[in-house]
Amino acid sequence: MRRGKIFLAPCIWANFEFLEASLSKDADIQRQSLTPLENAAIIAALYAAEAREKKLARQVVWLQVAITLIAAGMAYGWYGTAQFALAVLSGGLVSVLNGTLLAWRMSRTVLRSAHATHDSSGAHYQLRLMYFYAAERFLVVVALLGIGMAVLKLAPLALLGGFVVGQATLLIAQLILSRFKTEIVTKNV
């Protein structure tokens, strides 16, 4: 019986040492994790900022649609022809599509950058993606405006006018809405 106790005591002691070692390893793992407890608030803030950017992009696109419809209605009222109003509407819709592509590709770039490595090749890859997306948007706009002018025989001045109104709305809405959102956030802090 005495042998069993002597034999049992080292096993229990060894188990305590193993348990203590595993607890210290867990503490080391927790200290080496990618999201330390001090940075947990930063991650939530980043998700909130991303959600605000997506909401801002949707608001800008809907504002582009509304201004394009108003411009097409005004063109119809001034010139009285549906052909002219349709050309303004088509140009504005090309601009809306451009804004939608911009918002979609920006969200895709954010998703890719979250999974990309943080070395210089990852940064070069991101830069190449941004150039590719800009070229893609340019070619889509040129192709759609060309189709509107050459195939659909829409009035070129009205088509380009609608496009300019839509692009101006895109720029102005992003400036005003982002400034307005920044003022609200800074006042609440």
C-alpha distances in Å from residue 143, one per residue of 21, 48, 94, 140, 166: 66, 36, 10, 5, 17
Q: What pLDDT is recorded for position 105?
A: 83
Residue 34 DSSP class: S
Q: What pLDDT is recorded for position 97?
A: 95
Q: What pLDDT is recorded for position 183?
A: 53
- Spans of all domains in the chain: 1-34, 43-188
Alpha-carbon gap, residue 88 to 45, rounded angstroms: 41
Instruction: Tell me which residues of the chain have a pLDDT lower than 70.
Output: 1-46, 109-121, 180-189
Please answer whether residues 73 and 89 qualify as being in contact, where contact means their C-beta atoms are separated by less than 8 angstroms: no
Q: What residue spans of the chain are helical by DSSP H?
A: 2-31, 40-79, 82-115, 120-146, 156-188
Neighbours of 173 (CB within 10 A): 19
Please write the tens of the pLDDT for every residue from 174-188.
Answer: 888 877 655 555 555
Q: What pLDDT is recorded for position 18?
A: 47
Predicted TM-score of the model (pTM) = 0.66
Q: What pLDDT is recorded for position 12?
A: 44
